Structures are given as C-alpha cells and as structure tokens.
Amino acid sequence: MNKALVLDFGGVISRTMFETHDDNEKALGLAPGTLQWRGPFDPENDTVWRNMQAGKISERDYWTYRMKETAALVGENWTEFSVFVGRVRGADPNSAIRPEARDAIETAHKAGAKLAILSNELDLFYGAELRKKLGFLDKFDTIVDATYTGILKPDPRAYGFVTDALKLAPEDCIFVDDQQKNILGAEAFGMTTVFFDVTRPRDSYVEALRLLGIESMAP
C-alpha cells in the first residue's frame, strides 16, 4: 500500500487530560472533583479553552495556564510541560494510550500502510523518555516533532517534513488531528484529513482507516 496514516499524538493517540481527571486527582492527592476544566467535553464551562479555539491564545498558552493552575493546587511551581504531564499521568504512560489508537495502528501496519506522527510538542509535553516506554512507536516510519524542528502545525513546512520523510505525495497521506486549525493546514497542503472527535475516538479511527482503503478495525 502506497499510503500513510499520519497521526497527531496528544488527544489522538493519547487520551486527553480532560478524560483522565479522576486518575489525575488521585496521582496528585487532590479531592475528587477538584479539576473542573473539561475542554471539548464541556466548552461552555471552560473559558480558557474557548479562547484557544477562537484563536485568542495558542494551544501551548492553554496548557501553560492549566499547568500553573494545577501546580498551585499542590503547592508546587512547574515550569516544564513534561513535569506537569509526568505528575498527573504517573510512571506508566501506556495507561493513557487509547485502545482504539492501538487497534488502528496495528490494523494499518498489517495492511502495509506507512505510519507517521506529526506533533507540535511530543517530547516537550511528555519527555524524551516516553518513546522508550511505548513499544508500538517502533511501527512508525517517521516521527516529526516540533519540539526539535521548531515548525508548528499548521505551517505547511510541518506537513512537508512528513511527506518528504515518507516519500509520498500529500494526497496519499491520511492526516488525523483533534485541532481544526491543523486540519485546515493539512487540507491546504493537499492531505486527506479526518478531524478527530475526542468524544468519539473509535468513529474517527474507523473513518481514517476507510480512507486508507481498510474497511474493518479490530473489534
């Protein structure tokens, strides 16, 4: 198969922090219900999220705000996203990986599709050691991380890094992301896209595989 599945990491492969508040609170020793921000799961009650979606602040600005807010709750001062993620996610990052992502990656890999990650902040948020703990990343042909390139989606150069590495035309890449501005950037570059609905992850992966020409995913 001369096509590729190109995935964002946070939100697409990994569950969002919004979905793991119960576990996050336990890891931090906070009372249940302390963390109220829910992003796309309750945008009406997350003003900072709405500001980000409206383009008033960046995605990194959003998480900087939440990092400082959460650190204050435990009497700490975090300045690195990897510390923030490490404190709320604990020692095993595999627990936050979406099972639907594992199934889709395995299905695409077995079908002969190429696999790529295009992230704005993979190692910045999760730390470079993460990759050693996630064995399924070995299946990926390339990982493009703006932590190192300095080129953030939706800059067309970010998508170009992927097509160059895979030696594929943009139209042969199925790009999946949970941020609309990144989807629009990929479409402008010529990629086929799937907006990842974090509230319906399996449906999003089924659609991505369908566009690859794969009509089924592991149940």
Give the domain CATH number at 180.
3.40.50.1000
Over its length of 219 residues, how does the chain's per-residue pLDDT go in tens digits? 799 999 999 999 999 999 999 989 999 999 999 999 999 999 999 999 999 999 999 988 999 999 999 999 999 999 999 899 989 886 678 888 999 999 999 999 999 999 999 999 999 988 888 888 899 999 999 999 999 999 999 999 999 999 999 999 999 999 999 999 999 999 999 999 999 999 999 999 999 999 999 987 765
Query: Is residue 219 in some structural domain?
Result: no
Query: Is residue 101 in some structural domain?
Result: yes
- Are 116 and 195 within one domain? yes
- Are 114 and 205 within one domain? yes
- Are 101 and 199 within one domain? yes
- Are 10 and 118 within one domain? yes
pTM, two decimal places: 0.89
**According to the model, what pLDDT value does residue 219 have?**
59
Q: Which of 80, 126, 59 is nearest to 117 (CA)?
A: 126
- Are 102 and 178 within one domain? yes
Q: Which residue among 68, 93, 118 closes a domain?
A: 93
> First and final CA of the chain: distance in angstroms?
23
Containing structural domain, residue 44: 17-93
Q: Which of 211, 215, 206, 214 is nearest to 186 (CA)?
A: 211
Q: Which of 187, 192, 197 is nearest to 11 (CA)?
A: 197
How many domains does the chain divide into? 2
Query: Is residue 218 in some structural domain?
Result: no
Q: How many CA atoms lie within 13 A of 177 on its CB side?
A: 24
Residue environment code for 6-26, b if the CB has 16+ CB neighbours within 10 A, otherwise e: bbbbbbbbbbbbbbbbebbbe
- Are 139 and 65 within one domain? no
- Are 113 and 85 within one domain? no
Query: Is residue 217 in some structural domain?
Result: no
- Are 41 and 26 within one domain? yes
